[in-house]
Chain A
Amino acid sequence: MSNFFEKSDLSRKEAESIISDTLQKCDDGELYLENSKSESILLDDNKIKNSSYNSDLGFGFRAISDEVVAYSHSNEISKNSLKQSSENLKSTLKSVKGTYNHEIPKSNKKYYDNINPIEQKSLNEKIKILNDVNDYLRSKGDKVKQVTANFLGEQKSVEIIRSGGETLSDVRPLIRFNVSVMVEKDGRKETGVYGVGGRQSYDSYLKDENWKSVCDEALRIASVNLESKPAPAGEMKVVLGPGWPAILIHEAVGHGLEGDFNRKKTSAFHNLMGQKVASEGVTIIDDGTIDKRRGSLTIDDEGTPTEKTVLIENGILKNFMQDRLNARLMKTRSTGSGRRENYRHIVLPRMRNTMMLSGNQSQEEMIKAVDKGIFAVSFGGGQVDITSGKFVFNCTEAYEIVNGKLGSPIKGATLIGDGPSILKKVSMVGNDMMMDPGIGTCGKAGQGVPVGVAQPSILIDKMTVGGTKL
């Protein structure tokens, strides 16, 4: 736990009194304090290329009056700096006449341990594993031309002080281990990337040489791509594998169901509450409570305990994801989805672990049901225009399907679809739901936050595949 006032001329009491004085007649607001420590160790081109450590400390002071948000942040936790911020907030809001909402739900549940993953393994141990990764992959044959592997570890302590002095705090560990490998055959180069991570210690992923499975997967993807043919262009049936391909859910519907875009009526979903937006059998939740997952949070960045929010139930749109501001203005409650990248940024409603639940069909049945289409297994990322609802995601491992049988691998291509209608084209839902491996980061308004996705295999009846083969 960080003591934010230990080395400051500002005492906790004084801070509380400045906070209460500033927020008195505001509708909401808080002082958010953050202390994060992170490390990155990178092996690249046979060498330890980088070992770096970052320590970041600061506060963000927020005051909300009706719809208007005033925000001020600084790195200096001092009497002067907090007073200056308080003045900034007051001068923005000028006359305020709200009633501060003191209510904030409580929970004793914790979804990760209070650990500092950086200190749980020595630098030398981490360097040894990275060198082992390099040797292991390069021993797999001459075709391996480049290996990059890295560790990213972080411990973030946050404290939220509300008007009246109520204080909420959380200590969040997070790690990531990534491997990227480039292979070359007959002058053709391809890469494969894989990684694992979550809110726990490195040892959970790296003991007993289980990092080998991460290397094997990266190499497998790269090797498959060496044999790939140009991807087809046009509309066709698409089978998505379980796990990572749930980036589809994140882009196609996730962003469009965030509270802010719906309050502002700029989301393609804003007038669809209670309506059918997906095929029967499609249920999608956003869950911040899964033990030690990358997207999980004990409390969100406003202090609200996270929860399992049902977004779409059996095809019907049930809930949006809310932070306190949007919930108040839409006359509903926060779903514990208020997040920020760090103290430099304002809170926005964001996803945590977004999941489509299992149905009862098998992947085999889906592939059999396709005469002409593609089977996409691995994805690199995606993006959405929430207003038009059009979204893309980039597949990094895919195969053609011809007459119900898997054919040759195809080159990476972008798939594009329409968010509000794509889930109505889901004609089969698999029985094999899987979480992603825990390395996803979602970007919105310039802020990146760690998230997770999950889904079973699904069959989509029609989607546009952005290949080059006509």
Chain B
Amino acid sequence: MVKDQEFLEKKASYCLGLAKKLGATDSSVVVKNSVSETVNFRNKKLDEANRSDDLGISITTYIGKKKSSISSSNLLNDNLNILIEKCVETTKNTPEDEFNSLPDRELLAKEVKDLDLYDDSHIANDQKIDYLKKLEAVASSDKKIINTESSFTQNKSNFVLANSQGFCDGYKTSSFTASSVTVAKDEKSMERDYEYSSKCFLKDLDDAEKLGNLAANQTIRKLSPKKIGSEKITIIFDKRIAKGILSTFAGAISSSAISRGTSFLKDKVNQKIFSDKINVFDKPDMLKGLGSRNFDSEGVKTETLKLVDQGILRHYLIDTYNGKKLNLKSNGRCGGTSNLYFENGNISFKDLLNSNSKSLYITETIGHGSNIVTGDYSVGATGFLVENGEFKYPINEITIAGNFKDMFQNITLANDLEFKYATNSPTMLIEGMVVAGK
């Protein structure tokens, strides 16, 4: 069982008390416990069962404008005594930074709403095994599928965040995740693909057959891929890739990248960075949302932000430290975004496919090819050639490249948004990118 609030609060207040006694003028502490149980299947048989019980504490101490932090997985008071003493000592020896401080008191979250993030139900390993059996029976039914690996994880977590200004809060969250990875083979090729479902509540999880079916079909259709020539082309990003482009955007408007001057979106607030129809929201209070939260990792209250309004950038993602540096108030985004999404566009998926006589539909990218300093983008890609709205054949061993400054201005979104991850996008079309192949 995951540790209760009382245990975590007791540890937190012990640490705050000790830090104060040892000379810290301010301090903050996070105590977390996370218990997960995972069952992995391979080719319709049990492959691995894994239980983890993780405790963790991290403490930041301040002496005036000096700051240092420690973290540990050992919560015995003996150990905490040594570590906090070390932390305060290190703080004394660390140079001052005028922007170091706890959040402004009036910005701290006051009410903690129940966002429906915790499901008390427990799925025993035998039930997980039943689910995976059903999943793999479907996933392996086509003889082109030569290997299936699937997994079911239940996670229960609890945390408390406390600081010396009197903030002390936390709550339980749960997640249930099932995934299926399949390998298909024909005379010419071997390909892999996957499908996945993750929810706060067990009863909301996709059913096993659906997952197995999707994984297998998405893999089989990749068989016998071709390589195409290099050209300028319209790219359509599958939702699972489009969300990555939204994440890169979030990285580029983080206050740390902005204050350090290492973002291509520095000084772009109130400027048009996307095409007219694009709206981006970050909404922390979605019920059962995979990115939902009541406050950020400093305890600052979070409200919904319309980050991009009709193509115009309206906000950075601001934490306390970088906010002070930029002379802006924290908007509760220490630790990043919550439920981040592009609002739906106004054409259907089908019309999007049909909007150009020839385009590339991308289902997977590999490599770390997003540079937020310059905005340059270049990644390896796998997908399909689309002609007149039809998927013609699979494609691989190509790269796609462009620069986000241009790409953002050329985005068209379909109206098929789903909340499958914490960051979500409808299917995305971008004109004028370069594919490198033969």
Which of A's residues lie within 8 Å of B, judged by CB? 7, 44-45, 47-58, 67-76, 81, 85, 88, 91-92, 123-124, 127, 145-146, 182, 188-191, 231, 233-235, 264-266, 268, 344, 346, 380-385, 387-388, 390-394, 411-418, 464-470
Contacts and interface: CB of A to CB of B under 8 A. Distances in A.
Is chain A's interface secondary structure helix, strand, loop, or mixed overall?
strand
B48 A68 contact: yes
Contact of B401 (A57, A67, A390, A414): A414
A234 B437 CA distance: 5
A456 B147 CA distance: 37
B401 A467 contact: yes
A356 to B, nearest CB: 21
A456 B57 CA distance: 45
Interface stretch (B18-26, B86-94, B238-246, B295-303): B86-94
27 contacts: A48-B94, A51-B68, A51-B90, A53-B90, A54-B71, A67-B45, A70-B49, A72-B52, A73-B53, A74-B53, A75-B55, A75-B73, A91-B125, A92-B46, A123-B94, A182-B373, A233-B399, A264-B147, A344-B54, A383-B368, A388-B190, A394-B367, A464-B436, A466-B380, A466-B401, A470-B230, A470-B232
Interface in B57-90: 67-76, 78-79, 83, 86-87, 90
B427 interface: no
Interface in B372-386: 373-374, 376, 378-380, 382
B333 to A, nearest CB: 18
Given A123-B93, A344-B52, A466-B436, A394 B74 contact: no
Contacts of A189: 261-262, 264, 373-374
B398 interface: yes
A71 B48 contact: yes
Contacts of A418: 397
Contacts of A384: 366
- Those 5 A-B pairs whose CB atoms lie nearest each other, nearest first: A466-B399, A233-B436, A392-B380, A392-B367, A387-B192
Interface string B163-187: 0000000000000000000010000
Contact of B72 (A56, A76, A417, A469): A56
Contacts of A47: 95, 97
A260 to B, nearest CB: 11
Contacts of B403: 468
Taking each of B149, B191, B367, B374, which has the highest tally of chain A beta carbons within 10 Å of its own beta carbon? Answer: B367
A383 B366 contact: yes
A55 B74 contact: yes
Interface string B336-355: 00000000000000000000
Interface residues on B, range: 35 or more
A465 B191 contact: no
Contact of B374 (A58, A69, A190, A414): A190
A265 B374 CA distance: 41
Given A68-B46, A412-B378, A470-B232, 19 more contacts: A7-B76, A51-B68, A52-B69, A68-B47, A68-B48, A88-B51, A92-B125, A124-B93, A189-B264, A231-B401, A344-B54, A385-B366, A390-B382, A391-B366, A392-B380, A416-B380, A418-B397, A464-B437, A468-B434
Contacts of B50: 69-72, 346
A189 B265 CA distance: 12
Interface string B216-242: 000000000101011110000000000
Nearest to B399: A466
